[in-house]
């Protein structure tokens, strides 16, 4: 069996790793001109299902390394004012496993065949049941299964399910990171909480490594090369829907809305890495009607993109990867045919994927009351 995976995000890479470990050939095609063409290094929280999914997709020999580059975290999820006074609670405290996306992505890339500058232009289902993917600047690739793991603007979804489109909530947010130094020790109660004022919400999260990733890889898995980064604070400011940014830089857009805020909060943004600060929009994709069964399927944000306020986007993509991995292994071992295995995956994925999108949208108004949720 051969699988073509379009998209080198966490979900697509986890699937490819899991298939590779089971002896199934998997090629990854990425539209970016290079693996590090875009910064993808923010902290994220994995729930138990998400963490176990990525663990299951990785070779067991890398499990000690995975355990060393994550941290357990808990947050009270307070609501604070701009002077860091508690004024409410978001809900029950949250626990999970914290991981750096860039570090995890480099681990998942290890040993895989990844073709960059591979922009999908379409695909054809062949007479023998295989599927041939076409690309703008490279030869076509033929496989038993094509998996679209290519995000909110999925080119695979545009062909497979053109009626399924992304929805822009109108909400924008600026995200960045700042080295975690002793200067910001006083902000610890704000990590995992929401700071609200002047119509905006600021969210902070600490990333502390048990061992620096590069050092951990050298000690535990020399064949793996991980980025040389240290502890940091990930911050994100959610802006009012369709608010004007007045052509400001990402940092200045945040600072312009923090006049009179606690000096440590302003210093956190002022000392951020400008190359790792960016403006993003919140778009969602809701799974709709199932497409006709065949040798093409979707994974992650390509079919169920969530609002980041739900904290379940990466978790759901990794759950997809592990579920599809297990279904394809069954097909590879002859316990069911390929199309039945894909159908089994899609039936389950559509159900929990739709729940993930709904859950994330239910939580968005707490951060952006004017968001468009229809």
If residue 169 lies in a helix (H) or strand (E), which one and from where to where? strand 166-179
pLDDT in tens, 321-367: 999 999 999 999 999 999 999 999 999 999 999 999 999 999 888 87
Tell me if 218 sits within 8 A of 227, measured CB to CB. no
Helix (H, G, I), strand (E, B) or coil at 160: helix
pLDDT value for 345: 98
pLDDT value for 228: 93
pLDDT value for 240: 74
pLDDT value for 364: 85
What b/e readout covers 15-39, taking b as 16+ CB neighbours within 10 angstroms? bbbbbbbbebebbbbbbeeeeeeee
pLDDT value for 280: 85
**C-alpha span between 339 and 248 (Å, rounded):** 50
Tell me if 178 sits within 8 A of 257, measured CB to CB. no
Tell me if 22 sits within 8 A of 114, measured CB to CB. no
Q: Give CA angle at 235 (278, 318), nearest 5°.
A: 80
Tell me if 24 sits within 8 A of 166, measured CB to CB. no
pLDDT value for 258: 95
Alpha helices in the chain (DSSP H): 10-21, 48-57, 63-68, 101-109, 155-160, 213-220, 250-255, 263-270, 301-304, 313-332, 338-363
**C-alpha span between 288 and 28 (Å, rounded):** 26
Tell me if 65 sits within 8 A of 221, measured CB to CB. yes
pLDDT value for 192: 86
pLDDT in tens, 136-191: 999 999 999 999 999 999 999 999 999 999 999 888 889 999 999 999 988 988 98
| CA distances for 313 relative to 11, 49, 131, 154, angstroms | 10, 12, 28, 15
User: Mean pLDDT per segment of 10 residues, for the chain of length 374 residues?
Assistant: 97 98 97 80 89 97 96 83 92 80 96 96 97 97 98 97 93 90 88 88 91 96 95 90 68 92 96 86 92 96 91 94 98 95 97 95 81 62
Residue 213 has, within 13 A of its CA and on its CB side, a CA count of 24
Residue 44 in tokens: 């994220």
pLDDT value for 235: 94
């Amino acid at each position: 069996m051969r699988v073509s995976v379009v998209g080198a995000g966490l979900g697509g890479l986890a699937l490819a790793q899991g298939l590779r470990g089971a002896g199934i050939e998997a090629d990854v095609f990425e539209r970016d001109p290079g693996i590090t063409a875009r910064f993808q290094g923010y902290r994220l929280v994995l729930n138990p299902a998400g963490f176990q999914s990525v663990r299951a997709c990785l070779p067991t020999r890398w499990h000690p390394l995975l355990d060393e580059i994550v941290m357990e975290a808990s947050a009270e999820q307070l609501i604070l004012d701009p002077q860091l006074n508690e004024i409410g609670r978001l809900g029950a405290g949250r626990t999970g496993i914290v991981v750096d996306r860039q570090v995890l992505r480099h681990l998942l890339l290890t040993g895989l065949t990844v073709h960059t500058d591979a922009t999908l232009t379409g695909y054809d289902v062949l007479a023998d049941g295989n599927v041939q993917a076409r690309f703008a600047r490279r030869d076509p690739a033929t496989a038993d299964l094509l998996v679209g793991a290519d995000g909110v603007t999925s080119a695979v979804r545009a062909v497979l399910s053109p009626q399924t489109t992304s929805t822009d909530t109108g909400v924008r947010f600026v995200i960045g990171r700042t080295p975690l130094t002793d200067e910001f020790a006083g902000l610890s109660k704000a990590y995992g909480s929401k700071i609200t004022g002047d119509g905006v919400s600021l969210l902070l999260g600490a990333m502390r490594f048990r061992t620096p990733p590069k050092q951990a890889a050298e000690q535990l898995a020399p064949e793996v090369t991980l980025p040389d980064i240290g502890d940091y604070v990930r911050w994100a400011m959610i802006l009012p829907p369709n608010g004007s940014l007045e052509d400001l830089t990402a940092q200045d857009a945040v600072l312009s809305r923090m006049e009179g805020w606690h000096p440590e909060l302003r210093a956190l943004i002022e000392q951020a890495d400008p190359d790792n600060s960016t403006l993003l929009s919140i778009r969602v994709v809701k799974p709709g009607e199932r497409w006709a069964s065949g040798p093409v399927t979707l994974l992650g944000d390509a079919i169920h993109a969530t609002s980041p306020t739900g904290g379940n986007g990466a978790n759901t993509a990794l759950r997809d990867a592990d579920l599809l991995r297990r279904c394809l292994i069954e097909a590879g071992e002859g316990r069911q045919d390929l199309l039945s295995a894909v159908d089994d995956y899609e039936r389950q994925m559509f159900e929990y994927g739709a729940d993930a999108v709904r859950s994330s949208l239910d939580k968005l108004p707490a951060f952006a009351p004017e968001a468009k949720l229809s």
